[in-house]
Amino acid sequence: MSAIKERRERERAQRHQLIITAARELAEAEGWEAVTTRRLAERVEYSQPVLYSHFSGKDAIVRAVSIDGFGELAAHLRRARLADPGPRRALHAVCRAYLEFATERPALYQAMFVMPTDVKFAHAETPPPLRACFDEFVSCFRPDNARRELFAEVIWSALHGIAVLSDSGRIPPDSQGERLDFLIARLADTPG
């Protein structure tokens, strides 16, 4: 009786995640404009209305994908930071990892940082993985740096600008390394 319900709920949760990963794979393979509710439904082998029993609409699916992405990005940044100790080197590593993430998963990155969203950033209801991403940048600055949050915001913004302008072909994708080196050299908090 209750075991059956449990199985049902388990299956439902699996299907929930299936939809999210299918959306993400489709987006990464053909871009978000190819992610239509029809194609997505076909891909998960259910009809369209099933999607709406899991998510309030297409936006909610994108949002779910993006939150998955925040978790992965946070882990990716953290790994980079811990692998390269020392404040200056850590910052460089984290920034490089960030751009790497953006260029290797452009569709996921778009869902997270470009597409319209109502996810709250820098707010009490901010999803923890998102906060964790930001904190990786903050942690690259000295704890006694009173403006490290501001520094992190600016660094993050600059990286985002670089990522998004090169992804849309507005700045040439080569010399990405040069741009990053210059940015770090100027923005790290350990002068010299």
Partner DNA sequence: GACGACATTCTAGCGACGCTAGACATCCTG
Partner DNA sequence: CAGGATGTCTAGCGTCGCTAGAATGTCGTC
CB 79 within 8 A of CB 96: no
| Structure token digits, residue 33 | 């404009």
Q: Find how far residue 50's CA is from the centre of its chain.
A: 26
3-class DSSP assignment, residue 132: helix
In this complex, which beta carbon is closest to DNA, that of residue 116 or of residue 172?
116
Per CB under 8 A, 157 contacts its own copies = yes
Cβ 114 to DNA shortest distance, Å = 17
In this complex, which beta carbon is closest to DNA, that of residue 58 or of residue 148?
58
Site for its own copies in 167-186 (CB under 8 A): 168-172, 175, 178-179, 182-183, 186
Cβ-based neighbour number of residue 72 at 10 Å: 15
CB 70 within 8 A of CB 112: yes
Per CB under 7 A, 104 contacts DNA = no
Per CB under 8 A, 34 contacts its own copies = no
Q: Which stretch binds its own copies (CB under 8 A): 2-10, 13-21, 135-143, 156-164?
A: 156-164
- Judged by beta carbon distances under 5 to 8 A according to partner kind, the member of DNA, its own copies, none in contact with residue 46 is DNA
What's the N-to-C CA distance of the chain in angstroms? 69
Q: What is the DSSP letter of 34?
A: G
In this complex, which beta carbon is closest to its own copies, that of residue 41 or of residue 99?
99
